[in-house]
Amino acid sequence: MDFKVLMLNEIRDFGGGEVLTLDMAKGLIDAGVSVTLGCNRNSVLEKKAKEMNIPVIPFPMRNEMDFFATLYIIGLIEKHKFNIIHCHTMRDHVLGSAGGRFSKKVKVVRSQHIHYPENPSILAQLAYKKWTDIILCNSLFIKENLKKEGIAPELLDVLHNGVDLKKLEKEMDREEGEEELREELHLDKDALLIGCIGSLFETKGQGVLIESFSSISKEIPHSRLIITGSGPTLPRLKKQTEDLGIKDKVFFLGKRKNVYSIYPQLDFFVVPSLWEEPFGLVNVEAMFFGVPVIASRGGGIPEIMEDKKSGLLVPKGDPAAITEAVLSLYKNPGLKNSIIQCARKTVKDKFGIEIMIKKLLHFYGKLLP
């Protein structure tokens, strides 16, 4: 059967889930599948979808009880003969699955990027437990999380996130070289750069990394910490660097349009999350760019990298463990190079977008044989 997919994502801002939404839509289109993206009007997602030549229909999705949005989705199903509604967030999951229930020919798919909501509404519970045909969790960890919340196991499967390796390869082949960041920040060419990319929230653990770096910088005086991202904890993190006396060695880059250009210029990449990361796309990206990753052991991260083989895993909230991990790789170039090679092979073998799309089409096929 030919698949006609209406992919929904109502998020107005732009994050990892939206990157995955666009990559998934583009990957399906490249595989010959008819895909249309439904998103909020004037959202970042609408703009980027048009830039990627992804067919897009913008319409308001105000809240879970937006009856008019559900009616609009029903109209889209009838007009365009969609047979799959693929949802990505809580709001569009409720609206899309409610609209999908009006047609027996439509199957509803949910990509689960995060944990099950702590206080799901009645509509959300119906969407998860009654109105959805399959929930594709981005890690086994998330699948187990949903099972514990009472979601029927037969509705759940695992589809690990994939990255567009061709797009990343282009970034690696840039002619500009790898000194842009050092030039921008007026750093010596031999400066050792330790990086972290992500939104600045308490749960992301940048404060733990800064505490660790205060020890690392004493052992490696020419080391510098690069923190990329924006969020509410920024003022407190800056104050922390002042209190620790490392203000001149820590650089906050803010939100960058092209974070891919950051990775190749780093010597080490740290993911100091304090919560259970559902997957952690930055781990995969850093691994592909040949940057050794030190990440919190928890959530879906151990499904991406094997400790001491393709990365180093450390206990959550333990600055001393991060310090020890960085120093161990710094002092052991052989281990560092071995991890880099294994990590890149892991990404190519398991986390390419083509692999994800092939598996996704398999799931679609099970719903519409």
Q: Answer whether residue 187 is part of any domain.
A: yes
One domain, residues 282 and 205: yes
Cα→Cα distances 262→179, 182, 206, 226, 352, Å: 10, 11, 17, 9, 20
pLDDT at 1: 63
DSSP code per residue over 91-146: HHHHHHHHHHTT-TT-EEEEEE-SPPPSS--HHHHHHHHTS-SEEEESSHHHHHHH
DSSP SS3 for 57: strand
Find tokens 């020919």 and name the residue: 105
Let me know whether 72 and 11 are in one domain: yes
Residues 280 and 361 in one domain: no
Quick one: 156 and 196 in the same domain?
Answer: no
Q: Could you tell me if residue 170 is inside a domain? A: no
What is the phi/psi pair of residue 26, to 5°?
Answer: -65, -40
* Whether residue 128 sits in one domain with residue 190: no
Residue in this structure with the two tokens 């999908």, named with its chain if needed: 100
Parent domain of 49: 4-162+352-367
Query: Which uninterrupted H or E stretch holds 58?
Result: strand 56-58
Q: What is the pLDDT of residue 35?
A: 98
Q: Does 168 reside within a domain?
A: no
Are the beta carbons of 117 and 150 closer than 8 angstroms?
A: no
Here the CATH number for the domain that contains residue 90 is 3.40.50.2000
- How many domains, the chain? 2
Backbone angles phi, psi at 84, to 5 degrees: -135, 130
Burial letters 8-24, b for 16+ CB under 10 A, else e:
bbbbeebebbbbbbbbb
Q: What is the mean pLDDT of each run of 10 residues along the chain (369 residues)?
A: 93 88 96 97 95 96 94 95 96 96 90 90 95 97 96 97 90 62 91 96 97 98 97 98 98 91 95 95 95 97 97 98 98 97 97 96 94
Same domain? For 327 and 357 the reply is: no
On whether residue 169 sits in a domain, the answer given is no
